[in-house]
Every structure is written in structure tokens, then in C-alpha cells.
């Protein structure tokens, strides 16, 4: 464990070894789904996806998203309790980019960049909703008008 309460080495092992893994973010409901298996075009899959209620639902989602591939034997899930930016700051995101780049080249690097940007955008939107008392949040006090 490091100062951030994470076993970074174990997370990096998952990134380097698992065929399919899901990152459960601590700040947003959406998940990062990474399928390192190459499709017919030689590309892996990385997207920010909605949460599901069960492993079976995730397998069904994967079947719809990647119909040309068999279902994986397992999907590894790990929790990331910090902001997505911390993945970059702690060097974790670099391992995701490298793995996908080796499999799918520049296009996969671009896919990873889009997924990272989407996670950051969703986090910013969630923080803004919390501040403004948006959906899912309750305003505790308001400025007098």
C-alpha cells in the first residue's frame, strides 16, 4: 500500500494481465471498461460505460458491444477511490495506454484519451451538480437573494 491507500502494484498487474477489467470510480457512477482482446479490426476496447446491477448484466453488455468476440472467462474489477486525474498522477493511466497501444496502435491511444477525457468531464459535471444542488444532491443552504 502507498500513501493513497491503494496497492498500485496490484492494480498495475491487473492492467497488464487481465483480458477484461473494469474500474469502479469513487466519484462517479460510470465505469471504465477495458477489453484488451483485439476485435476483427485489431483493436481493443476502452470506454466509460454505465454501471450495471450484476456480473451477468456486464457480460450481456460486453456481448452487445463486442459481438465478434467470445465472452471472456472473467472480468476483473477494481475500485479507484480517487479522481481520474490521480490515475495519471500516480502513473497508472500510463500502463493502460501502453497496453492498448501495443495491441491497437495510435487509434487505441486516441480511444484511451477519449475515455480519460470523458471520465474527467463526468467528474467535473458531478462536482458542479453537488455545488448547485443538482440531480442526486440536496442543497443545504442557499445564498440569500
Beta bridge partners of residue 49, listed in sequence order: 31
Let me know the angle formed at the C-alpha of 80 by 79 and 83, rounded to the nearest 5 degrees: 155
Residue 70 lies in a domain: yes
Write down the pLDDT at residue 142: 67
Residue 85 lies in a domain: yes
Residue 2 lies in a domain: no
Residue 114 lies in a domain: yes
Task: Report mean pLDDT in 10-residue bins for the chain, 145 residues.
Answer: 75 97 96 97 96 96 96 96 95 97 96 97 89 72 71
The C-alpha atoms of residue 16 and residue 99 are separated, in whole angstroms, by: 7
Residue 3 lies in a domain: no
Beta bridge partners of residue 31, listed in sequence order: 24, 49
Burial 63-85, CB ≥16 within 10 A → b, else e = eeebeebeebeebbbeebebbbe
Write down the pLDDT at residue 140: 67
Helices (H) and strands (E) in the chain, counts: 4, 4
Residue 13 lies in a domain: yes
Give the β-pairing of 76-80 and 20-25: parallel
Residue 23 lies in a domain: yes
Q: What is the dihedral of CA 40, 63, 88, 128, to 10 degrees?
A: 130
Overall domain count for the chain: 1
Residue 69 lies in a domain: yes
SS3 (DSSP) at 9: helix
Domain of 89 in residue numbering reads as 8-132
Write down the pLDDT at residue 132: 77
- The secondary element (H helix, E strand) that includes residue 63 is helix 55-65
Amino acid at each position: 500500500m502507498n500513501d493513497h491507500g491503494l496497492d498500485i502494484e496490484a492494480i498495475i498487474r491487473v492492467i497488464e494481465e487481465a483480458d477484461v477489467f473494469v474500474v469502479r470510480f469513487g466519484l462517479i457512477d460510470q465505469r471504465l471498461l477495458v477489453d484488451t482482446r483485439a476485435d476483427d479490426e485489431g483493436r481493443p476496447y476502452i470506454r466509460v460505460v454505465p454501471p450495471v446491477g450484476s456480473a451477468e448484466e456486464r457480460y450481456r453488455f460486453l456481448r452487445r458491444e463486442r459481438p465478434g468476440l467470445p465472452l471472456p472467462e472473467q472480468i476483473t474489477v477494481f475500485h479507484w477511490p480517487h479522481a481520474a486525474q490521480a490515475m495519471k498522477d500516480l502513473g497508472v493511466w500510463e500502463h493502460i495506454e501502453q497496453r492498448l497501444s501495443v495491441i491497437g496502435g495510435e487509434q487505441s491511444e486516441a480511444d484511451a484519451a477519449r475515455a480519460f477525457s470523458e471520465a474527467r468531464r463526468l467528474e467535473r459535471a458531478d462536482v458542479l451538480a453537488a455545488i448547485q444542488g443538482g440531480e442526486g444532491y440536496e442543497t443545504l443552504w442557499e445564498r440569500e437573494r
